[in-house]
Structure 1
Amino acid sequence: MRGFAGLTLVLAGGVAILLKWKKRLLGRKRLRVIGVIPARFQSARFPGKPLVSILGKPMVVHTWEQACKATTLQKVVVATDDERIASACRKAGAEVVMTSSECPNGTVRCHEAVTKLPGDYDVVINIQGDEPLIEPEIIDDTVRALQNSPDCVYSTACTPLDHERVEQRTRVKCILDRHGHAIYFSRGVLPANKDGAVRPFPAPFQQQPYLLHLGLACFDRAFLAEYCRMAPTPLMLMEDLEQLKVLENGYKIKVIVVEHNAHGVDEPEDVAVIEQKMREEGLT
């Protein structure tokens, strides 16, 4: 009985925290938005990836240029700990915030960058530097999704994923509830079935697609600070996906589904694919 009473107190405490956040969010409009592009030179699979040349221009600069076209952002900055990246971005005209080399991930780097800037922002959107073809309209729609969802602390975007790519571990998949909230993210096949096959959804849901998570993470600013104080969670560590810590702590993530034909640059061979798409879309 003593153990049960202790568990009841813990659960009650968790519910109280969530209710506090919901009350706080419902009273705020979250109008001022900053876009942050975290960029680090070191990468296990692709060292120096932000500076890889795509049609003669560093990839991170392409991403910054796309982000600057978004109409919901009052400011766009690049956050890095590497002077080579900083120099390339400044040369292109980007504002750069130098951050610690000890940042464990892009989310913490975004938080540190915003704390070093003047201004009081309500929303921080983490725009992955390896998405040089991200459409500014998708950035805007992701921001508005959070602004229009007062019970959520985070929003992001997904796009339909071809069946032949579902098993690729570099592609992060997502599943949603019937209200557009994230249920789970995984590098594995998601959703899976008992025979492990990738196939159309069963009747009457054959038009339901597998969903690829895009490199956008839009945070309520106050929650971002809270998120960075939270301890790592089991599923976050198992999947190596930062957004799972949001779900594991009981918070809601709003997801929009968009049409986005280009994926990010995960490996060197992706560069040629991106260059071809840029030529096709006249983004040279």
Structure 2
Amino acid sequence: MSVLLVIPARYASTRYPGKPLSELRGADGMSRTLIERSWIAAQAVRGIDRVVVATDDVRIKTAAEGFGAEVVMTSDTCRNGTERCAEAHERLGGGYDMIVNLQGDAPLTPSWFVEELVEGLDAHPEARVATPVLRCDGAALNGFLEDRRAGRVGGTTAVFDHDRLALYFSKEVIPFTSHTYADDDETPVFHHVGVYAYRPDALSAYPEWEPGHLETLEGLEQLRFLERRSPVLCVEVESRGRQFWELNNPEDVPRIEAMMARMGMV
């Protein structure tokens, strides 16, 4: 099975313009851009045949080529990372058995998240798309709730059925729970990790579909699959002691840098 990993990156983010070129300081005190740290995370994943950065911005292209990345230029009409991955796959001539979308705002993504994602989709032929979910401990859930109280859009949560097929994804914290959790407590809430694996037919069909009502409301690209009844498999992954957080807002930079310092990530 041949696997292409694409890191979609755009400069004109509504919430955080220029996010891929924002600097993150590692445990050694050295700063690297978000796109470079995403590239480093991709290089650690086993079983990937090719890694490319897909962008429409020459500033990101220049930065990525500066640290040795292969870059595919895509159009500025891509509405999200999935559409950008579809265009990148097409521009590369297609032919891959699976395409992975490692979004460029999650530099803390452990390699096994992606490896288990690929294995999960390969093992479930009924699913056209797969994405990882991570059970929240109390600390993560409380962080989500704190973001919502402050009016910030934080992480995304997921709910799924007994076959692990997604029922819904939301930027609200779902399912609702009235319990209070200590930092080390296990909770019933699952953090959606912003990585996707697609079968080629599902990925090529995606840009042809107009965004649905729920996708537009939530701003979550994966909801387009659910609204078109294309099954999305949720693959549960474990942190193995690693902390995980996406860079969604400028306020996340010190949070991620603190996590990198605690984990000794350079």
TM-score using structure 2 length: 0.87
Q: What code does the residue aligned with 1:126 have?
A: N
Question: Structure 1: any 5+ residue segments left out of the alignment?
Answer: 1-30
- The one-letter code matched in structure 1 to 2:142 is E
Give the structure 1 partner of residue 135 of structure 2.
160
Q: Which residue of 1 aligns with 2:255?
A: 273
CA-to-aligned-CA distance 1:35-86 (integer Å, 9 cap, x gap): 1011011112211110011121111111111111111211110001111111
Distance, in Å, in 2 between the alignment partners of 1:200 and 1:178 is 25
3-state SS of paired residue (1:209): strand
CA distance 1:235–1:82, shift in 2 (3 Å): same
One of 113, 118, 133 as aligned partner of 1:138: 113
Larger Rg: 1
**Superposed, which structure 2 residues align to 1:1-284 within 5 Å?**
31-55=1-25, 56-118=31-93, 120-161=95-136, 162-167=140-145, 168=148, 169-192=153-176, 198-199=178-179, 209-260=188-239, 261-284=243-266
Deviations 1:219-250 (A, max 9, x none): 11111101221122221122221111111212
Secondary structure of residue in 2 paired with 1:66: helix
In the other structure, the counterpart of 2:28 is none
What is the alpha-carbon root mean square deviation over aligned residues? 1.8
Counting matched residue pairs gives 246
Higher relative contact order (CA 8 A, sep 6+): 2
**1:216 Cα deviation from its structure 2 partner:** 0.5
**Displacement of 1:184:** 0.6
Identity of matched residues, %: 35
1:63 partner letter:
S
CA distance, structure 1, for counterparts of residue 82 and residue 51 of structure 2: 15
d(CA) in 1 for partners of 2:231 and 2:187?
22
